[in-house]
Structure 1
Amino acid sequence: MKKFTIFSINRLSSLLLLLVAGVLFSCQEDDPTTPAEAKAAPVIEAIRSMDPNKADSTFTQSTLGSTIVIKGQNLENTRSITFNGYSASFNTAYASKNYLMVRIPEQTPTVATAATVSNKLVVSNSKGDATFDFTVLPPVPEIQAMSNEYVKAGEPLTLYGKYFYFVKEVTFPGGVSGTNFSTLPDGLSLTVTVPTGFDPTKGDVIVTSESGKSLANARTKLYSVGMVSNFDDKNPFGWGIPASNITNSAPGINPLEGKFALVNMSLPGAYGWSNDKVINLADFGGGQIFPTDPASNYNPEDPIANFEARMEVAVANTALEGIQLQVMTQEATDKEITANIDLKDFVRSTDGRWYTVAVPLADLVNGSTKLAKYGDLLKGNKAGVKNYRAVIINTNSADVPATIAIDNMRIVNITK
């Protein structure tokens, strides 16, 4: 099987660029404005790396933004270079009879931006063209969100993001590979079956494609720590949660595990209020409901920007346009600080499937009042009561019937 190697200009220093150019290319004028008349049409024999240590390696694909060396004949008077029909800029000072250096433009059409591409590299001079089969790959996969961080082996997990093309493997924390993965033609999502043996404490979900591996970020970790309430064995229930709001069943919604909180009502329009649309976690005895363990994740001195409020949300038969989820807490002067997100930005279907919703704690604000560090959240209000509230808000003018479930309300350190 032919082995492909992917190269990026970002890995090379300017010094290496100049060194390689000096080694590979004959001396030319500093800035020739027009290539001289060619004696014969160009010929492309191979594509090589800019790295001198890999100069003997050849390949037939590379990513956007990579710099490659074209090896062939009659290249010194090249007038144009195109990738999939898109023109690339190049310096004729770095063109010799047998070598030509060029950077693949980021704007080059790939399967990420065009339904069909030619997968052709074309070098032209005054005598003709040379065409070479060459695949320009999109950037490495980028995971921007996961459908549900609270998954178990055997369940489907959908990843949302960009550039899910030519996927070879999906790796779960602990180094085990997912099975039965599939992607949509637009490359914006990937669904995979969660494998047995994964350990959410040991890393991230990583997608490997022909372009390379996705990077770990705040959205690539599966649930493990930070629970405030799972509505089963960890239940600091407070005001706003009547017994009828805690259930293990709802029309069109199956539980993740055990019980969940439920908002099942006609949401009053124009930001109207109702206690039945509020899920409030509080221990009015002054107990600490926010996570402090492990200490490395929940250092009181860490900036509040390191933390997010997260929860799983499932929606059944509800029009989500104009429906928001608000997260609230009280700070040390008793001010209620809040942040709102549009549910449709996270909940991608209304068929009862569960999705993870994330709200940065740094976005909680009341005028100029906000939290500075994690310890500010741990203090609670003047009386020492800690509140973690989720409210479903209807910004539409008319009432909206809604069935919305919430589970696993937690605080997550996104830097760990």
Structure 2
Amino acid sequence: MDVDADAKNTIRLVKSELEYVYDFEIRDAAPSVTRISHTLPQAGEVITIYGKGLVEVNRITFPGNVVVTSNITSDEDGEFCTVVVPAGITEGGALFVEGANGGAYSPSYFNFRKGLLHNFDDVNNQSWSGGDVSDDLTSVIPASGNGPKSQGTYRSLNKDKKTFAAPAPKASYYWANNSVFPSLLPESVLSSAASTSDVGVQMDIYVEGIWNSGTIRIVITDGSGADRYCMLYTPWLENGQEIPFINPGSWFTITLPFSDSDDYAGKTFQDVLNSVTSASYAQWGPWFDNIDINDIACEPTDVTIYFDNLRVVPLDTPVYSEYGDE
């Protein structure tokens, strides 16, 4: 039935000669934000915010109360929105996204530079590597597009863009100094009592080629065996099933909660710090392992993964309600 526009979303009450029209809003469920494509981007780059109910997003507040009301594009199904990163962001924390269905916070990890433990420019650059890790690289990649690009110096886990055999465990590996964890991550940066499900490692990567096999292994402590104190990032595997890896064509952030490691599950961030200080070797970092995953046989692969900005970040999401404490 066709309804006049001025009669939509109203209730009309009539009694004798009295009449009252009550206006109300019809919304979908409250929105939510599940992840951000790049959490340490540069001003002017386009990032994607993923979630549910992100319909007609019209305002995004970045940490430090930097507000954006333009250059926002929303998905019709509400599964994501994109935004051009504004200049002037100096603080870290959660994004607040507002649209037709209300508002929602992201996890608290955007621009969390306080947790940056290693890059190749100016933060804790004591490191060593092996296998097929490249030397320092500086060419801006990708050369075109409006998505996030490389930031200064970075490295690759496949320096010659070779084809890794199957299997090829620890085909390449990079070690950074992890003795700085306690000094760079004090209580004022991250609570030692935080659950390991609320704290994790982030790293920015750029991918060339088809990622059909192999995994990034983030090793937190060395000396307890290859499968201990580590988390895996395997984007071609979801719920135990193989899926195509969709390459965004720009740099993006991977996020690995410490609780993904059996050694840290159900524990606190203090337990992570304790494991680091008691490790046999003071080193941590990403490996590329071309190995069987969840009984899925590995295959030869020539995927090339560039990486930068290793950091530890909070993963908690602030609670928001339009109705306050009601």
2:322 aligned residue: none
2:76 aligned residue: 185
Which range moves more in the overlay, 167-176 or 319-328?
319-328
Match for 1:209 among 79, 99, 103?
Answer: 99
Q: CA deviation digits over 1:329-381, x for unaligned, max 9?
A: 22786783222222358997536411110111122236xx7683333333426
Q: CA deviation digits over 1:248-286, x for unaligned, max 9?
A: 2387578522111212233535442244x2222236xxx
User: Structure 1 residues 210, 304: closer, same or farther in 2, change over 3 A?
Assistant: closer
Amino acid in structure 1 at the alignment position of 2:50: Y
CA distance in 2, matches of 1:351, 1:216: 21
1:19 aligned residue: none
Query: C-alpha displacement at 1:166, in angstroms?
Result: 2.2
Match for 1:278 among 148, 173, 186?
Answer: 173
2:282 aligned residue: 386
Conserved 8 A contact 1:231-1:259: yes
Unpaired runs of at least 5, structure 1: 1-43, 45-57, 62-69, 75-97, 100-131
Query: C-alpha displacement at 1:215, in angstroms?
Result: 2.8
Count, aligned residues: 290
Match for 1:410 among 299, 311, 316?
Answer: 311
1:105 aligned residue: none
CA distance in 1, matches of 2:97, 2:131: 40
Query: C-alpha displacement at 1:228, in angstroms?
Result: 1.6
Q: Does 1:329 align with 2:225?
A: no
Unpaired runs of at least 5, structure 2: 239-243, 318-326
User: Structure 1 residues 205, 241: closer, same or farther in 2, change over 3 A?
Assistant: farther
CA distance in 2, matches of 1:310, 1:381: 20
Q: Does 1:72 align with 2:10?
A: no
Secondary structure of the structure 1 residue equivalent to 2:134: helix
CA distance in 1, matches of 2:165, 2:183: 35
Amino acid in structure 2 at the alignment position of 1:272: A
TM norm structure 1: 0.59
CA distance in 2, matches of 1:135, 1:377: 47
| Highest RCO, 1 vs 2 (Cα 8 Å, sep ≥ 6) | 2
CA distance in 2, matches of 1:326, 1:172: 31
Secondary structure of the structure 2 residue equivalent to 1:208: strand
CA distance in 2, matches of 1:341, 1:364: 12
Query: C-alpha displacement at 1:191, in angstroms?
Result: 0.9
User: Structure 1 residues 382, 173: closer, same or farther in 2, change over 3 A?
Assistant: closer
Amino acid in structure 2 at the alignment position of 1:196: A
User: Structure 1 residues 301, 251: closer, same or farther in 2, change over 3 A?
Assistant: closer
User: Structure 1 residues 354, 206: closer, same or farther in 2, change over 3 A?
Assistant: same
1:263 aligned residue: 157
2:230 aligned residue: 338
Conserved 8 A contact 2:57-2:99: yes
Larger Rg: 1
Q: Among the aligned pairs, what percent are the same residue?
A: 21
Q: Does 1:169 align with 2:59?
A: yes
CA distance in 2, matches of 1:241, 1:281: 15
Query: C-alpha displacement at 1:208, in angstroms?
Result: 0.9
User: Structure 1 residues 292, 304: closer, same or farther in 2, change over 3 A?
Assistant: farther
User: Structure 1 residues 253, 386: closer, same or farther in 2, change over 3 A?
Assistant: farther
Conserved 8 A contact 2:170-2:288: no
User: Structure 1 residues 340, 308: closer, same or farther in 2, change over 3 A?
Assistant: same
User: Structure 1 residues 269, 189: closer, same or farther in 2, change over 3 A?
Assistant: farther
Q: Does 1:400 align with 2:301?
A: yes
Query: C-alpha displacement at 1:222, in angstroms?
Result: 2.6
Query: C-alpha displacement at 1:195, in angstroms?
Result: 1.6
Match for 1:248 among 123, 138, 142?
Answer: 138
Match for 2:204 among 312, 322, 339?
Answer: 312
CA distance in 2, matches of 1:290, 1:247: 29
CA distance in 2, matches of 1:243, 1:319: 18
Conserved 8 A contact 2:141-2:150: no
Secondary structure of the structure 2 residue equivalent to 1:362: helix
Amino acid in structure 2 at the alignment position of 1:187: G
Query: C-alpha displacement at 1:150, in angstroms?
Result: 1.0
CA distance in 2, matches of 1:391, 1:191: 31
